[in-house]
């Protein structure tokens, strides 16, 4: 038999053979698996809490929007040289608050290493939520019924601003507070939309009715399609939490229940995607009205 016919063991073969041997030894009461065996990923450092009464916001779009918002009270900025260039800040010493030029790892310590901070972070006072009476003459608003995931709420804010919604209405409880995660997901939209908090959602819906709003609750089992449900020139789209959907009291209070027609195999959307599609449909109707 020639040498060419022999099986040659590769380092990968040896590695898996060692794993199998270590597993047999462990079952037999022997030594634990070798140090080079597979291990679960270690959790990433969680970061540090913001100063009391403040929030930490990060990311180029988020921070740029906060810098441009006259209602935002900023206490400190940390940024890399590259981030400052992207923000259009030529001289950090001209800023009206404390600012430091830092390396990315200094921001990692504050946000945690899983945060995509893009080299910039601010510490600021949170924006104050507004009362329902602040709606003014808005024609399109979004109402969230206990949507708690800050990623989803941030993404919904982004869509709301993109489609010209006048406000985002949430409950004081069972809703995420302003945070770096929410603001990063909103990509600057947090600074461009009125956030209204209410104690009782059903009472708030009744007040919207009195103000001339048609409240449309999104429900995948509703008998009516969203496109055919619009009536009037003021619309409040009401969306429920992931999995649970709208609460029973909310379902009983809204003017209309409607569904997004989806002919595909999947019959539901993530709440932030459903918000975007619903806003698009509402905007088309209101624009033509």
Q: What is the DSSP string of 128-161?
A: PPB-GGGGTT-SEEEEEES---HHHHHHHHHHHH
Counting residues of the chain whose pLDDT is more than 70, the rounded percentage is 83
Q: Compute the Cα dihedral for 198, 201, 206, 210 and give only its sign.
A: positive
For position 107, what pLDDT does the model report?
95
**120/104 Cα distance (integer angstroms):** 8
For position 33, what pLDDT does the model report?
45
- Tens digit of each residue's pLDDT (9 = 90 or more) over 33-52: 444 444 444 444 557 788 88
- Tens digit of each residue's pLDDT (9 = 90 or more) over 170-204: 999 889 999 999 999 999 999 999 999 999 999 99
Mean pLDDT for 259-263 is 89
CA distances to 9, 10, 114, 137, 245 from 23, rounded to whole Å, are 20, 20, 33, 69, 46
- Tens digit of each residue's pLDDT (9 = 90 or more) over 236-249: 999 999 888 999 99
Residues 6+ apart with CB under 8 A from 167: 130, 134, 135, 138, 141, 142, 193, 194, 195, 196
For position 36, what pLDDT does the model report?
47
Task: Please write down the long-range contacts of 200-204, taking CB distance under 8 Å and 24 or more positions apart.
Answer: 200/171, 201/143, 201/145, 201/171, 201/247, 201/249, 201/250, 201/253, 202/249, 202/250, 202/253, 204/132, 204/143, 204/169
Is 11 a residue whose pLDDT tops 70?
Answer: no
Name all domains of the chain by residue range, CATH numbers in brackets: 55-124 (3.30.1330.30), 132-288 (3.40.1280.10)
Poorest-confidence range of 64-68, 146-150, 164-168, 173-177? 173-177
Is 223 a residue whose pLDDT tops 70?
Answer: yes
- Specify the pTM: 0.81
Poorest-confidence range of 13-22, 82-91, 220-229? 13-22
């Amino acid at each position: 038999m020639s040498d060419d016919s022999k099986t040659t063991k590769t380092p990968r073969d040896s590695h898996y053979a060692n794993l199998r041997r270590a597993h047999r030894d462990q079952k037999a009461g022997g030594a634990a698996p070798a140090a080079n065996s597979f291990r679960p990923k270690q959790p990433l450092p969680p970061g540090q809490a913001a100063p009391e009464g403040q929030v930490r916001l990060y990311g180029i779009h988020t921070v740029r929007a906060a810098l441009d918002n006259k209602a935002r009270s900023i206490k400190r900025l940390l940024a890399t040289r590259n981030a400052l260039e992207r923000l259009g800040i030529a001289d950090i010493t001209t800023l009206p608050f404390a600012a430091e030029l830092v390396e990315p790892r200094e921001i990692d310590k504050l946000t945690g290493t899983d945060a995509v901070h893009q080299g910039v972070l601010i510490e600021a006072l949170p924006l104050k939520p507004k009362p329902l009476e602040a709606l003014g003459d808005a024609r399109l608003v979004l109402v969230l019924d206990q949507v708690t995931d800050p990623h989803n709420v941030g993404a919904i804010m982004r869509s709301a601003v993109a489609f010209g919604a006048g406000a985002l209405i949430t409950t004081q409880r069972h809703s995420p507070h302003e945070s770096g995660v929410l603001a990063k997901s909103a990509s600057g939209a947090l600074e461009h939309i009125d956030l209204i908090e209410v104690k009782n959602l059903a009472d708030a819906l009744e007040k919207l009715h009195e103000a001339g709003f048609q409240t449309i609750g999104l429900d995948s089992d509703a008998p009516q399609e969203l496109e055919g449900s619009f009536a009037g020139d003021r619309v409040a789209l009401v969306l429920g939490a992931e999995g649970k959907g709208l609460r029973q009291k909310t379902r009983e209070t809204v003017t209309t229940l409607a569904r997004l027609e989806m002919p595909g195999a999947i019959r539901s959307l993530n709440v932030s995607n459903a918000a975007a599609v619903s806003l698009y449909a509402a905007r088309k109707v209101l624009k033509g009205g």
